[in-house]
Amino acid sequence: MTYLYCVVRSDRRPVLRRVSGGVPGASPPRVLDAGGGLWLIAADVPEAEYGEAAITRGLKHLDWVSKRAMGHEAVVEHFLRARAVVPMQLFTIFTADDRAIEHVRRDRRRIEGIVKRIGGHVEWGLRLTWDEQAARASVEKAHRPGRRDGAATGVEYLARKRDMLEVNRARLAEAQAAASGLYRDLSAHASEARRRTSTERQSAPGSRLLLDAAYLVPARRAAAFRRALRQRARKLEVPGVVVSLTGPWPPYNFISR
């Protein structure tokens, strides 16, 4: 069986000497020529481990899936510097090499469109989380008792309680607005941007996910993109907001419209 990692656009046959990773149980990655400057990065996998029944069983176990996802990602990342790399979904498998090549040739028009959009680009991931505990700590610090007489302590206690309620309401609303503003601002520095609102809604209480976004950025503009993020992140004045940037990655989130 032929496991397909990605399709690479290159004028020359891709070099595999330093490719590391790969899905467990697979042969070393190899190159298949699909013609016209498109190259398939593939490997042989045993049906006992990657047949339909085996994958169905494996998908029930997070550890099994994560090991294969990491191996898949390691191979795709090797080609980040190519003119364009089109990552395949995890477990894109064909019965033989010629079937994989035929599939790409049939789908060539769509793939060429993707290559045109993502060529010379990489993906950056941006997450903003709101740490409720950190926000509460900032309120506690602002209202730390300065006197020990009962009246002052009582007033400060009531003010602290009032501001604790503000943390759960007004400050969260401010944090959400700040996240949306940052998303819009950074979108101007990317060719495309996507916000995964469904992931944001599923975040756990207490450390709420304010923003889960992906940006398609020209590789030559990566430093400018990171600099723009730093400048805007410094202006965030909402306590408890944590900014996390990851990348560069293959443009998984921009393969489809």
Contact in structure between 254 and 118 (CB atoms under 8 Å): yes
Query: What is the DSSP secondary structure assignment for residue 159, as one 8-state letter?
Result: H
- Please enumerate in sequence order all residues whose Cβ is within 8 A of that of 134, keeping only pairs 6 or more positions apart, or say none: 239, 240, 242
How many Cα atoms sit within 13 Å of 222 on the Cβ side? 13
Pairing of strands 207-218, 93-94: unpaired
What does the pLDDT read at residue 17?
A: 83
Number of structural domains (the chain) is 2
Residue 49 shares a structural domain with residue 76: yes
Give per-residue pLDDT as tens, 19-61: 888 999 999 999 999 999 999 999 999 999 999 999 999 999 9
User: How would you label 199-214 residue by residue, b for 16+ Cβ within 10 Å and e otherwise?
Assistant: ebeeeeeeebbbbbbb
Residue 136 shares a structural domain with residue 250: yes
Query: Taking 70 as the threshold, does the pLDDT of residue 153 lie above it?
Result: no
124: phi > 0 → left, psi -120 to 50 → alpha, else beta; which?
A: beta
What does the pLDDT read at residue 158?
A: 66
Query: Taking 60 as the threshold, does the pLDDT of residue 204 lie above it?
Result: no
Residue 128 shares a structural domain with residue 104: no
Residue 158 shares a structural domain with residue 72: no
What does the pLDDT read at residue 248?
A: 94
Residue 51 shares a structural domain with residue 155: no
Residue 72 shares a structural domain with residue 13: yes
Residue 134 shares a structural domain with residue 13: no
How would residue 240 be classed by pLDDT, with cut points 50, 70 and 90? Answer: confident
Give per-residue pLDDT as tens, 163-185: 666 666 677 788 888 899 999 99
Residue ranges of E strands in the chain = 2-9, 30-35, 38-44, 84-87, 93-94, 121-131, 192-195, 207-218, 241-249
Residue 188 shares a structural domain with residue 224: yes
Residue 60 shares a structural domain with residue 142: no
Residue 115 shares a structural domain with residue 191: no
Helix (H) or strand (E) holding 221, with range, is none
Give the end of a domain, one of 92, 119, 146: 119
Residue 246 shares a structural domain with residue 128: yes
Give the end of a domain, one of 119, 135, 166: 119
Q: What pTM, to 2 d.p., does this model score?
A: 0.78
* Arithmetic mean of pLDDT, 207-223: 91
Give the end of a domain, one of 78, 102, 119: 119
- Report how far residue 110's alpha carbon sits from residue 123's, in angstroms, rounded to the nearest whole number: 20
Domain range for 136:
122-254
Q: pLDDT over 70 for what percent of the chain?
A: 82
Residue 98 shares a structural domain with residue 22: yes
What does the pLDDT read at residue 171?
A: 76
* Arithmetic mean of pLDDT, 69-79: 95
What does the pLDDT read at residue 123?
A: 96
Query: Taking 90 as the threshold, does the pLDDT of residue 141 lie above it?
Result: no
